[in-house]
Structure 1
Amino acid sequence: MLRLDDLQIVVRTAELGSLSAAARALDVSPAVASGALKRLERQLDVRLFARSTRSLRLTPEGEQFLGYARAALQNLEEGQQQLAGSKVGISGVLQLSAPSDFGRNVLLPWLDEFQQEHPQLSLRLLLGDRVADLYRQQVDIAIRYGTPEDSSLVALPLAASNRRVLCAAPAYQHQHGELRRLDQLAQHNCLLYMLGGRLHERWRFQDGKRELSVTVSGNRVSDDADVVRRWAVAGRGVVYKSWLDVADDVQAGRLRVLLPELRGELAPLNLVCTHRAQLSKAVHLLREFIQRRCAELLVRKPWSG
């Protein structure tokens, strides 16, 4: 089996152009360095360096082996760093953006809990429904519904199976009657959401293998998803929202799911960043934490499957 210290001798000798210089850099005697090189050449059954009294250069076989030796040492170093990092807490500043409703009413208490577990970590939270420009804004990651339109961004799933659900407050149902069919939405006040100037007035569902859609209308529109949810809780109309946003309201009885036999459209929640190099230990831990919390909410989902 090859010895790591022998690989180090080869790499440093190639870098410094001298066996004696490599010995000094590694704090071993020239005799030890020479012995390590000879031992490795015997094991590989090749000559790695062409040596004379005045010069030393890599042979073609040595050039080929050098890349593997460097990669092996680099992989070991990265492994040591990861193990060392796992033994210490995370610190520094983590900057993230999140949707208004999910951020204020779901994520905020989660972040409190996460920061209690990692008190050396500082958070900078930006809330809003407009998609953050990760190349310009000072954020490390964004939490967003749906797949990013920019294919150059890295999107990691937080809740891939999340869906939208149709909801209304008990007070609204009491006043306007129970919704029994999808086409009856035309007779109800639907609370609408607008993003980037686009009104989301076409609501899509699945009934088994059938795709259903309905165009709705109402007397209230907002570009803030939290406002739309608050209107629904106040009994102002019917809302079509991400289950993650309304799960606690449904659990507490503030909202009721309508037509639960229909499956709302997918609303996957993702963690988005510009490059995988931004996936620090803090980001990985936060992602795992949010995934667990989302899974707990999805256990209570009203749709089957």
Structure 2
Amino acid sequence: MSPDLNDLTAFVRVAQCRSFRQAAQELQVTASALSHTVTRLEQKLGMRLLQRTTRSVSLSLAGERLLQSLQPALLDIASALESLNELRDKPVGRLRLNVPRPAAQLLLAPRMAAWHAAYPEVELEIVSSDALIDIVEQGFDAGLRFGESLQQDMVAVPVGPAFGFVVCAAPAYLEAHGEPQTPHDLLRHQCLQIRFPSGTRYRWEFQRGQEKLEVATNGALVCDDMSMVVEAAADAAGICYTYGSYANEMVAQGRLQIILEDWYPPAEHFFLYYPSRRHQTAALRALIDFLR
């Protein structure tokens, strides 16, 4: 008996996720049912496709070869089905986005109610993560990043307003420790640190005219959440480097004070990006137009 398309699709999803549990969540089935599906496919083919342990899933040589052949074929099938969407008044289907948390909070969250009202038949799944991932490998349709973080084989479209960074601290901190006059002065201050999922700390970027600087600041408080850093700065724990949109309300309340204003780099847009070799779906086109 030949494998059916559902079995092959299930195998590809597990192979991409390297996890039965994650693939099952995305396919909206149980992990047990998905495991039975892949086992049935292996029995039909007479060879093992996945190596399973209690902690990991990896591909066998046969699995690697089948995955490489199936991925473009399944994309062609998806494109053929998607072409039918052109005949609809409004797009339908599922759209998975991978976005950093600031983009989710500042760009997407304020617009989600309006999006759902305009496109109620599109299931939009947003996964917020600051880690740089391969969106194709992880099964996402598109992602949001700043331009310098984009992979080379992606189509990238600027969306939303431009977001700029500011440096700020509580008036009480500045009164106690003095106000930095240049970025280099920050080296003598407690600077609240952002750590990326890779383990590296963010180097604060500055620009005045043609002069550009990156400063590896120092500080005893390190976290991976920008809103926590801003709150700590407002409580006089140190100086923070953050999106202006995070700080605006506290600046208006007098809890934070903007400093080093002559040294800010130009504001930047987020880019919505997707694989250049993948057909742009009607739902994705609608989202690009909506966020523009």
- Could you say which TM-score interval applies, normalised by the shorter chain? 0.5 to 0.7
* Paired residues of 1:242 and 1:267 also in contact (CA < 8 A): no
CA displacement at 1:93 relative to structure 2: 1.9
Aligned to 1:282: 283
Question: Aligned equivalents of 1:139 and 1:132: distance in 2?
Answer: 10
Aligned to 1:98: 99
Match of residue 201, structure 2, among 199, 202, 218: 199
Question: Aligned equivalents of 1:172 and 1:181: distance in 2?
Answer: 17
Change (3 A) 1:132 1:237: same
Question: Aligned equivalents of 2:278 and 2:269: distance in 1?
Answer: 23
Alignment of 1:240-259 (within 5 A): 240-243=241-244, 245-246=246-247, 250=251, 255-259=256-260
The SS at the match of 2:148 is coil
Pairing 1:178–2:179 present: yes
> Percent sequence identity over matched residues?
27
Question: Aligned equivalents of 1:246 and 1:284: distance in 2?
Answer: 32
The SS at the match of 1:147 is helix
Alignment of 1:143-162 (within 5 A): 143-158=144-159, 162=163
Change (3 A) 1:169 1:264: farther
Aligned to 1:127: 128
Question: Aligned equivalents of 2:226 and 2:215: distance in 1?
Answer: 20
The SS at the match of 1:199 is coil
The SS at the match of 1:166 is strand
* Paired residues of 2:98 and 2:135 also in contact (CA < 8 A): no
* Paired residues of 2:156 and 2:274 also in contact (CA < 8 A): yes
CA displacement at 1:96 relative to structure 2: 0.9
CA displacement at 1:190 relative to structure 2: 0.9
Pairing 1:112–2:103 present: no
Post-superposition CA distance 1:222-247 (Å, at most 9, x none): 23344334433444322222345545
Gaps of 5+ in 1: 1-78, 292-305
CA displacement at 1:171 relative to structure 2: 4.9
Post-superposition CA distance 1:79-116 (Å, at most 9, x none): 9985x54xx22322221121123313542232222112
RMSD in angstroms over aligned alpha carbons?
Answer: 3.2
Aligned to 2:270: 269
TM-score by length of 2: 0.59
Aligned to 1:45: none
Gaps of 5+ in 2: 1-82
Change (3 A) 1:285 1:250: farther
* Paired residues of 2:183 and 2:206 also in contact (CA < 8 A): no
Aligned to 2:38: none
* Paired residues of 1:204 and 1:265 also in contact (CA < 8 A): no
Equivalent residue letter for 1:113: A
CA displacement at 1:212 relative to structure 2: 3.4
Aligned to 2:212: 211
Q: Which moved more, 1:111-120 or 1:230-239?
A: 230-239
Change (3 A) 1:149 1:107: closer
Change (3 A) 1:193 1:134: same
The SS at the match of 2:261 is coil
Change (3 A) 1:269 1:208: same
Equivalent residue letter for 2:189: H
Pairing 1:222–2:231 present: no
Question: Aligned equivalents of 2:140 and 2:172: distance in 1?
Answer: 41
Equivalent residue letter for 1:158: V
Change (3 A) 1:221 1:283: same
Larger Rg: 1 or 2? 1
Change (3 A) 1:112 1:281: same
Q: Which moved more, 1:243-252 or 1:202-211?
A: 243-252
Question: Aligned equivalents of 1:284 and 1:247: distance in 2?
Answer: 32
* Paired residues of 1:100 and 1:127 also in contact (CA < 8 A): yes
